[in-house]
């Protein structure tokens, strides 16, 4: 959701995103800053081509990768990295919800999606007593999760309350609350590793995100020309693909006609052969 403090910012079209330092990058953020992400009024979520008309709109999907885009100031962000302690873990019908606390003044929901084969959430009510403690109850052999983007298997059995973890994921929103959908993770076992992440996160915040992203008119024009060339290449490739499909269909139709002609010829030959044989039998036994 856009806020008053962001009203003065200029939001560039999607074909400009690759010029942003946050483009296609795991942006290190705090939970509090993730909740500050927003989408400006009129932004479509998966594309932002205004005021540019089609065919440049076609580039929106290419440059956003199909994922929802959120903004910190006017920086486009799709992927984030957060580090914190898991406070709780809750099994829902289609996902596992983790609550992460990184001492930034806010907690953050981390979502792990179930595999389509997973139908029943594991709870204390449907687990045998021998399945406890929680880490065993949530064993990945019984609870299969997948990543949101490429649907690869994801074992989150190690993500239990009390664990400090580095979570990398895409952004989502549920009831106006930001969430991170897990793509990959690692456990933080050393305090030095956590402090190193905090230092890198702070450096990026101060050195990059504190000031709005600015492009000159020349840079925008250059990116627009590149986008037009990309649209042209994509159109050429689509035309070539259609031509290949058309030629394949023509070959298949030609092969089918040839087979039918051969079949009809064989049928006529069999009919002639059958007639001759009948006459021979009639002469022999008549």
| Stretch among 84-93, 126-135, 171-180, 235-244 having the lowest mean pLDDT | 126-135
Does 200 share its domain with 238?
A: no
Does 250 share its domain with 179?
A: no
CA distances from 59 to 74, 147, 241 (A): 19, 25, 19
Q: Which of 184, 215, 246 is the last residue of a domain?
A: 215
Does 232 share its domain with 168?
A: no
User: What percent of the chain clears pLDDT 90, i.e. is strictly above it?
Assistant: 49
pLDDT tens, residue by residue, 217-237: 999 999 999 988 887 777 767
pLDDT at 224: 92
DSSP assignment of 131-177 equals G-SHHHHT-TTTS-EE-TTT--EE--TT--TT-EEEEEEEEEEETTE
- Greater model confidence, 5 or 220: 220
Does 96 share its domain with 34?
A: yes
Q: Which of 191, 215, 239 is the last residue of a domain?
A: 215
Torsion angle, alpha carbons of 140, 145, 147, 152, to 10: 70
pLDDT tens, residue by residue, 135-166: 444 444 456 899 988 889 999 999 999 999 99
> What average pLDDT does the segment 19-39 reach?
96
What is the band of 80 on the pLDDT scale with cuts at 50, 70, 90?
Answer: very high
> What average pLDDT does the segment 36-45 reach?
77
| Residue 78 · residue 68 · CB < 8 Å | yes
Query: What's the domain count of the chain?
Result: 2
User: Hey, what are 253's tokens?
Assistant: 């139709």
> What average pLDDT does the segment 2-20 reach?
80
Q: Does the pLDDT of residue 49 top 70, yes or no? A: no
CA 180 – CA 148 distance, rounded (Å): 10
Q: Which of 158, 188, 215 is the last residue of a domain?
A: 215
Mean pLDDT in the chain? 81
Does 144 share its domain with 171?
A: yes
User: What percent of the chain clears pLDDT 70, i.e. is strictly above it?
Assistant: 74
Does 92 share its domain with 112?
A: yes
Q: Does the pLDDT of residue 252 top 60, yes or no? A: yes
Does 62 share its domain with 119?
A: yes
Does 251 share its domain with 147?
A: no
CATH number of the domain where residue 153 is located: 2.40.50.140
pLDDT at 53: 44
Does 190 share its domain with 49?
A: yes
> What average pLDDT does the segment 243-266 reach?
85
- State pTM to two decimals: 0.68
pLDDT at 93: 86
Does 231 share its domain with 169?
A: no
Domain carrying residue 235: 216-286
pLDDT at 5: 60
Does 130 share its domain with 179?
A: yes
Does 133 share its domain with 252?
A: no
């Amino acid at each position: 959701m856009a806020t008053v403090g962001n009203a003065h910012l200029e939001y560039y079209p999607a074909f400009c995103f690759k010029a942003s330092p946050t483009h296609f990058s795991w942006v290190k953020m705090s939970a509090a800053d993730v909740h500050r992400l927003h989408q400006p009024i009129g932004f479509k979520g998966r594309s932002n081509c205004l005021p540019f008309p089609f065919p440049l709109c076609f580039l929106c999907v290419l440059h956003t990768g199909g994922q929802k885009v959120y903004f910190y100031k006017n920086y486009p962000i799709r992927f984030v990295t957060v580090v914190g302690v898991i406070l709780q873990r809750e099994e829902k019908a289609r996902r596992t919800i983790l609550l992460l606390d990184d001492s930034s003044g806010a907690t953050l929901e981390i979502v792990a999606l179930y595999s389509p084969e997973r139908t029943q959430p594991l709870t204390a009510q449907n687990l045998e007593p021998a399945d406890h403690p929680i880490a065993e109850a949530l064993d990945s052999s019984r609870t299969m999760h997948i990543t949101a983007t490429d649907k690869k298997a994801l074992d989150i059995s190690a993500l239990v309350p009390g664990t400090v973890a580095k979570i990398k994921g895409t952004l989502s929103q549920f009831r106006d609350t930001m969430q991170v959908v897990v793509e990959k993770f690692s456990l933080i076992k050393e305090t030095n590793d956590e402090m190193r992440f905090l230092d890198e996160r702070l450096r990026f915040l101060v050195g990059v995100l504190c000031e709005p992203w600015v492009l000159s008119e020349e840079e925008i024009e250059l990116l627009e020309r590149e986008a037009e060339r990309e649209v042209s290449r994509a159109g050429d490739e689509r035309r070539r693909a259609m031509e290949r499909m058309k030629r394949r269909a023509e070959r298949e139709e030609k092969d089918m006609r040839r087979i039918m002609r051969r079949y009809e010829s064989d049928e006529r030959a069999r009919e002639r052969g059958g007639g001759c044989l009948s006459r021979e039998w009639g002469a022999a036994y008549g």
